[in-house]
Amino acid sequence: MHQRFSSFKYHGLIPLTESYLEKVKALLQAHGKPEKEVYLDLENSAPIAPDVLEAMLPYFTDLAYGNPTLTHKPGWEAYEVLMSARDEMANLLGAKSYEINFTPGESEANNLALIGYAIANKKRGKRIVVSEIEHLSIINAISLLESAGFEVAKAPVDDQGFVKLGELQNLINRETVLLSVGVVNHEIGTVQPIKEICKLAKDLNPQIAVHTDASDAVGKLSISLENLGADLVTVSSYKLLGPRGIGALCVREGLEVSRIVEGQLGTQRLWPGVENVPGVVGFARAIEIYVANLETYSSSLRSMRDLLLEGILNNVDETLLNGPSGTLRGADNVNISFMGCEGEALTVELSLHGVYVSSGSACTRRLLQPSYVLLAIGRGYEEAHGSILMKVNRLQTREDIEHVLDVVPKAVSRIRRIGGFGGDG
């Protein structure tokens, strides 16, 4: 099995003329079922936690299955559940209920924030500033705005991913309508001084709006959206082991944001269509669990993160940590470059042994391009191509991490031998 799979990956076992589905079926057959599996690819997707799924199940079949806008019993039930979950989320996040707008996910919320706000406020200014390491949904959204006549500037970061405040200051002027900087970087875990950034921006231009993607911060850092200083805040569900297909954009009272998707109006002004009631219920439950156990879970995540991080750096030669360490790093984030390893090849090798990670930037890996985040912090192409991103979660145990630490050195050694790098690595 091992040789077959390696042959498939590296030497093109399946002809390009076969359908993609046939390739996937062959890939799964060659892969087999590892004895133990540890999922560390939380940047891309995640299983729903059992305690979240339990809360959701009745709403798929028995409860609140109607359209919340319709005037009959199933519709009223759906409306009540939707509003109750929104109220609960607002209380947990330190926001007002009517400020929360549900979207199909983090990317949609980010697009709504940037494009929706920019369009609605273009008479006030057409300059937008973002950090150069924002989520790809933000980077691509500003590219669309730039093509529509907006002026875009990217604030540089240092070698650990922190925004250079002096250079950010020089980019903000009276024409700047919007600034976007994430609380915790999705790829290298850098915890930005977001309150300081918000104050800096508003001191320079009191009319500026600040957006922050807090998807990698909520439930892991003690933050209140009311006190964060930002005007628009994105939150994701699946990064909290909630359901996929649901996210939220919190819009401060009084801000004008245009819809970017049109369709049947529901209970929300900014996003049309029938609301995902089971998803909202699961989202609210996922936030509730993390916030209620914030200190315990954050401590546990940091402990597993450091066990994984230090175990790899101390036992595998020619490795490089990407991003900061300690409290300045996201509690769940490990990003390491392995010299002499191509990230995609190492991802496959680890998968054979039941360890699931992502290589380079999660959103660009299919293009086989080096991570733009790692290039921005000064990593070379070899370092960026050889990077692996891992995120731990609250359901994992020390035993899971120890399994990863047993697998990684062997996988790196094998890839390096194939590539002729430094003997056994």
Q: Where in the chain are the domains?
A: 2-49+294-419, 50-292
Cα–Cα separations (whole angstroms), residue 339 to 193, 269, 280, 365: 31, 50, 43, 18
* Among 198, 250, 341, 363, the one annotated catalytic: 363
At 11 the pLDDT is 37
| pLDDT value, residue 368 | 64
**Residue 90 to residue 77: CA distance in whole angstroms:** 20
E-assigned strands of 242-283? 247-251
Neighbours of 313 (CB within 10 A): 14
User: ∠ CA(201), CA(206), CA(209), 5° rounding?
Assistant: 65
Identify the residue whose tokens are 């995902």.
Answer: 276
398 within 8 A of 387, measured Cβ to Cβ: no
CATH topology of domain 50-292: Aspartate Aminotransferase; domain 2 (3.40.640)
DSSP class of 328: G
Cα-flanking dihedrals φ and ψ of residue 155, to 5°?
A: -80, 130
Q: How far apart are the first and last CA of the chain?
A: 24
Q: Which residues of the chain have pLDDT under 70?
A: 1-18, 360-368, 422-425
Question: Residue 166: is it exposed, middle or buried by C-beta count within 10 angstroms (0-12/13-18/19+)?
Answer: exposed
What is the reported pLDDT for 5?
Answer: 38
pLDDT at 38: 97
What is the reported pLDDT for 366? Answer: 52
- State whether CATH 3.90.1150.10 applies to domain 2-49+294-419: yes
250 is catalytic: no
Give the 3-state secondary structure percentages of the chain, helix then strand then coil, rounded to 5.
45, 15, 40
pLDDT at 386: 94
What's the pLDDT at 383? 93
Q: Residue 211, Cα to own-chain centre: how many angstroms?
A: 15
Q: How far is Cα 284 from Cα 49, in angstroms, rounded to an integer?
A: 13
Nearest Cα to 251, choosing from 103, 140, 81?
Answer: 103
Q: Which amino acid is at 351?
A: S
Q: What dihedral angle (degrees, nearest 10) is formed by the CA atoms of 162, 166, 170, 175? A: 60
* Tokens encoding 241: 């082991």
Question: Residue 165, Cβ neighbours under 10 Å: how many?
Answer: 13
Q: Which residue has the tokens 């900014």?
A: 270
Closest C-alpha to 335, from 315, 362, 354: 362
